[in-house]
Structures are given as C-alpha cells and as structure tokens.
Amino acid sequence: MNIRGGRAGLNSVSFAGDNYYVISRLKKGQVVTKKKKIKKYENKLTSIIDGIPFVRSLSLMLRFLLTTWKVYLFGFLFIILSSLLFKGSRDPITTIIIQINDYIVLIFLVIGVGLVFKVTSIAKYHAAEHMVANAYVVDSDLTVDKVRVQPRTHNHCGTNLVVTILFLLAILHMFFGSTRWIYLGAWVVGYEIWRFEPKFIWTVILAISKTAQYILFTSPPSDKHIVVAMAAMQGLEKAELKND
C-alpha cells in the first residue's frame, strides 16, 4: 500500500493513499474512523499538474490553502499586525528591523505554530502519525508496542518543505533584499528541491527539519494518540486493499 501523506489535528490523524483518504478522531473516548474516496478526476488532474516542473508547486499551495486556510489566515493577520507595529517609525534601530522584518516574521510565525502544536494535543497526534507511518513500513501488523519504539520524526514530514523554503529565503534575502518576488521564487524552487531531495543539500535540510520536528512540532504521545493514528492507518489499508 502506498501512503501518499498524513496529517495530524487537534484530536485526529489522517492518512491518504492512492484511492482513499481516511481520518480517525477521538470523540467522547471512542475512536471514530471515516473514509473518503479520492475522485478519479482529482487523481488525473494531480498527475497532469505534477508533471509540470515549478507549476506543480502552485498546485500544492492551492491545496494547502483550501485544507488549512485557518493557519494561513492566522499567519496573514500576524504579518499585517507586525507591519502595523513598525509603520511610521524613523529611528535607526526600527529601520533595520523593518528591513529584515518579513523574514524574521516568518521565522517567528513558524515558531509560533510550533508553540500552538506544543500547548495543544496536535504535537502528540503529529508524533503518533509519524510513529505509526514509520512502524507500518517495518511491519504492517501494527500494535501499540511496535509503534512505541519508532522515532517521532519522519523523513517525509511537511516540515522538510518549510525548512527548505526558509533556507532558500535566507540565501535570496542576502543577495536581493526583501523584495516580494523572492518569496514566490523560494516556494517554487524549494518545492522542486523538496520533491527530488538532492544529496548535496538534503542532509543538512533533513537534520534541521528533524530537529524542528522533535523540538517544536511533536511531543511524546500517549497510548490514546497512538491508537487513533493506528486506526487511521488500518482504515486506509482496509479501504485500499478492498479497492484492489
């Protein structure tokens, strides 16, 4: 079975395969699992767009916006508020801050999201998602004990993309300053790097990403978090095998 992706929520874990998307939630002490068939035209459209270099990154951005619009709204409001705080100031220190403000705001935004993960249950479900995915690759017959021994970081976490984009932004910022086009450039090129994982740079990016995953975006899960993640993976496996 191909695992196309995973995601953690406040009380949920979801996994996507070739044909189905499955989400498991903890409701009133019970694990509730639902599946959704991925429509054929969605797969076909995705395949076409994924074959077009650089354009495919914009498709991913659109999917992110549609599925996680609340996070983007929070980030947008955070940036607007930060800009207003510095608006109109003329002292040298603030001028320097304004020049690096956009990039620094992005860094603090990532840290802020990590803190939200930490103070809620998302970090624990995120860790459980990673651990279950890691365990499934080793042995598809999942148990809590088998999952427990797995690392809570993952080689293909979306954090890798975030780190790649921030890394490119830092480089572009040094050469071109805080011009708006560097953000689009970092996203488009960063996506291609994230997709192909070139060895000359990926070792560094993965090391930074796993550190961020461990410190900011995951926390040690309890059995209930693992059980929810296992239910999502087992539900996906059942749906995908039945589809075959």
State mean pLDDT over 132-148. 96
Mean pLDDT of all residues in the chain?
84
pLDDT score of 87 = 54
Q: What band does 95 get if pLDDT is binned at 50, 70 and 90?
A: very low
Domain membership of residue 220 as a residue range: 5-243
Q: What pLDDT, in 10s, does the model give residues 16-52?
A: 998 999 999 999 889 999 999 987 655 566 667 777 7
Q: What pLDDT, in 10s, does the model give residues 158-211?
A: 999 999 999 998 888 888 877 778 888 888 999 899 989 999 899 999 999 999
* Total structural domains within the chain: 1
pLDDT score of 68 = 56
User: Is the pLDDT assigned to residue 93 strictly greater than 80?
Assistant: no
Cβ burial, residue 109 (10 Å; 0-12/13-18/19+): middle
Q: What band does 97 get if pLDDT is binned at 50, 70 and 90?
A: very low
User: Is the pLDDT assigned to residue 236 strictly greater than 80?
Assistant: yes
pLDDT score of 41 = 54
Residues above pLDDT 70, as percent of the chain: 77
User: Is the pLDDT assigned to residue 5 strictly greater than 80?
Assistant: yes
User: Is the pLDDT assigned to residue 79 strictly greater than 80?
Assistant: no
State mean pLDDT over 99-125. 82
